[in-house]
Chains A and B, each alone.
Chain A
């Protein structure tokens, strides 16, 4: 129920209808249990879970986060409880929530992804999947995101396995993000989210070394990456007809509007949640206020209707 508010729902296709275009980005909201204690996440458009892998992963050694000007670096290393725990313990809880829960799935091999998805297929409460082909912090985690053909093979295999909505989260750490977007769309992705974090480094002069351990790099997020994210979304929007979910440095409703103008059908709020757990709700409330004249499809209306409405193109089965 939207109770007198304009209908801001977004149909992303294949059964995934977001009640509104504002979601919580993967890796910034866990599996929702903590934020549920702090905010009313059932008002949001979607919850994109922490990247989930076949086996539990303890994550990377600390320090895992480092603040930089206008953003932060993270190298969490896909710290997660593994798909069995998510499917058996968390998913039944998701089924009780009204916010759609999209499980972000990560892996090191096609088999990893497929076994993970297969386990989730039996689980309730899952509105769709976001294939994480772009985690910069694990060995091999970005191979699929940087290789359009490999990404297409992965998506095609996943497509054959599930009838649930299949979103692919794109890596910005590529020469041509549009090429990867086209490849995954052609292979049967229902939507794409753009973008994941940018590889970055913070160097500490005192210790004469990078702050983050290992390779010294992490994923850059926060307001510093918004212009980069906007450019990526515009590139992807021009390349594919499937819905695009914009993510990267959204701190307020104005940022979300900019992403929609650039071509996003919906958005994810990420790092802003760390600063203010209610940031995504504030973005949503701001969008409602900013869009009183809009009926459905605020994104298309913001773009002046020049972009085809989302979800009209039947996904290829690759």
Chain B
């Protein structure tokens, strides 16, 4: 962070590989959420929680760019991704059928930190923000975390990622739900559930819309006893995913030395290289909220 722009720590691109896999299953989960399972042996073997892959499932140049997705879970040589059809690329992805080819460049980016393993993990998911968490939950449990609680929020009950998919058979994982319309679980914001479950031994992991993450940051900042650490997974319109197009800039607190260049009172960090997972204190939240929604681009 103290170097000139463009010199931030690289994510571990050494594990990234371009591979062509095969779609095994496309499941409609309800509320527009779709889970795609594919045979992608390299990604399955190497992806860490919070990392992503650049996917492409079409020939030609329309659409041109790959689409980035968190790795939702892995099992053997299989990987899953959770997505929603919001644009031309995602529409083609959700229309895939078993047997179709799926090309993946990954794993990319920096994932969640859980070493040393926290005594308590609070996983805060909003809508499609569920995408990286089944893999994280499993990794936390395998690392010995005794207390993993998922706070799962969405606009409606239909848009909640199914609780059993966060647990993946692990009965020791607690899942609490919240919906904006009260159709399931707590009526209100998922971030309402955070304060009473957070202590100095907790690491908070969050992913969801920027407004939700900003609300979480504000909640955490107001706690008498802050968590040990809090990490958020962010998104940005992305060109390459591996740090060369410099397109996926996100506003971060200008924390460099006196010579660290900045404009507009803000420094920029690349989502693909410094993220997608960042410490909550690193994000310039007012500036992030001032940006147009990522899918607009």
Q: Which residues of A contact B (CB under 8 A)?
A: 27-30, 33-35, 37-38, 50, 55-67, 69-72, 74, 76, 79-82, 85, 89, 202, 204, 206-207, 211, 222-223, 251, 271, 273-278
Q: How far is the CA of A37 from the CA of B238 in the complex (A)?
A: 19
Given A58-B268, A274-B244: A211 touches B296 (CB 8 Å cut-off): yes
Given A34-B242, A34-B243, A271-B64: A65 touches B292 (CB 8 Å cut-off): no
Contact partners of A80 in chain B: CB under 8 A: 4-6
A67 touches B16 (CB 8 A): no
Stretch at the interface among B55-63, B116-124, B211-219: B55-63
Q: How far is the CA of A222 from the CA of B18 in the complex (A)?
A: 21
B264 touches A61 (CB 8 A): yes
A204, closest chain B residue (CB): B296
Given A56-B5, A65-B297, A66-B297: A275 touches B56 (CB 8 Å cut-off): yes
Most buried by A among B236, B239, B262: B239
25 A/B residue pairs, CB under 8 Å, sorted by A: A28-B244, A34-B13, A50-B6, A55-B261, A58-B5, A59-B268, A61-B268, A62-B249, A62-B250, A63-B294, A63-B297, A64-B237, A64-B246, A64-B248, A65-B239, A74-B245, A76-B245, A76-B246, A80-B4, A81-B6, A202-B297, A204-B292, A271-B64, A273-B240, A277-B242
Given A59-B5, A70-B64, A278-B18: A79 touches B297 (CB 8 Å cut-off): no
B249 touches A275 (CB 8 A): no
A28 touches B10 (CB 8 A): no
Q: How far is the CB of B3 from chain A (nearest CB, A)?
A: 7
B115: Cβ under 8 A from any A Cβ: no
A38 touches B242 (CB 8 A): yes
B189: Cβ under 8 A from any A Cβ: no
Q: Which residues of B contact A (CB under 8 A)?
A: 3-7, 10, 13-14, 16, 18, 56, 61-66, 105, 236-240, 242-251, 261-264, 266-268, 291-292, 294, 296-297
Given A81-B4, A274-B65: A65 touches B245 (CB 8 Å cut-off): yes
A70 touches B261 (CB 8 A): no
Given A58-B262, A72-B64, A204-B296: A274 touches B240 (CB 8 Å cut-off): yes
B246 touches A50 (CB 8 A): yes
Residue from A37, A63, A275 within 8 A of B291 (CB atoms): A63
Contact partners of A66 in chain B: CB under 8 A: 237, 297
Q: How far is the CA of A79 from the CA of B261 in the complex (A)?
A: 11
Residue from B7, B13, B64 within 8 A of A223 (CB atoms): B64
Residue from B3, B61, B238 within 8 A of A65 (CB atoms): B238
A38 touches B297 (CB 8 A): no
Q: How far is the CA of A75 from the CA of B256 in the complex (A)?
A: 24
Q: How far is the CA of A81 from the CA of B6 in the complex (A)?
A: 6
Residue from A63, A79, A271, A276 within 8 A of B296 (CB atoms): A63
Residue from A61, A64, A89 within 8 A of B247 (CB atoms): A64
Q: How far is the CA of A157 from the CA of B237 in the complex (A)?
A: 40
Residue from B65, B249, B264 within 8 A of A72 (CB atoms): B65
A79 touches B6 (CB 8 A): yes
Contact partners of A34 in chain B: CB under 8 A: 10, 13, 242-244
Q: How far is the CA of A41 from the CA of B56 in the complex (A)?
A: 23
Most buried by A among B16, B243, B297: B297
B297 touches A67 (CB 8 A): yes
Q: How far is the CA of A101 from the CA of B194 in the complex (A)?
A: 51
B5 touches A64 (CB 8 A): no
Q: How far is the CA of A67 from the CA of B86 in the complex (A)?
A: 14
Q: How far is the CA of A89 from the CA of B7 in the complex (A)?
A: 10
Q: How far is the CA of A64 from the CA of B5 in the complex (A)?
A: 15
B261 touches A56 (CB 8 A): yes
Contact partners of A211 in chain B: CB under 8 A: 292, 296-297
Q: How far is the CA of A64 from the CA of B248 in the complex (A)?
A: 7
Given A207-B296, A211-B297: A79 touches B5 (CB 8 Å cut-off): yes
Contact partners of B245 in chain A: CB under 8 A: 27-28, 65, 74, 76, 274
Q: How far is the CB of A100 from chain B (nearest CB, A)?
A: 18
The 8 closest A-B pairs by CB, nearest first: A65-B247, A81-B4, A37-B13, A56-B4, A274-B240, A63-B297, A34-B243, A30-B244
- A59-B5, A74-B245 given. 4 additional CB < 8 A pairs? A64-B237, A65-B247, A76-B245, A277-B18
B64 touches A71 (CB 8 A): yes
B62 touches A57 (CB 8 A): no
A63 touches B236 (CB 8 A): yes
B270, closest chain A residue (CB): A79
Contact partners of A60 in chain B: CB under 8 A: 249
A70 touches B62 (CB 8 A): yes
Q: How far is the CB of B291 from chain A (nearest CB, A)?
A: 6
B264, closest chain A residue (CB): A61
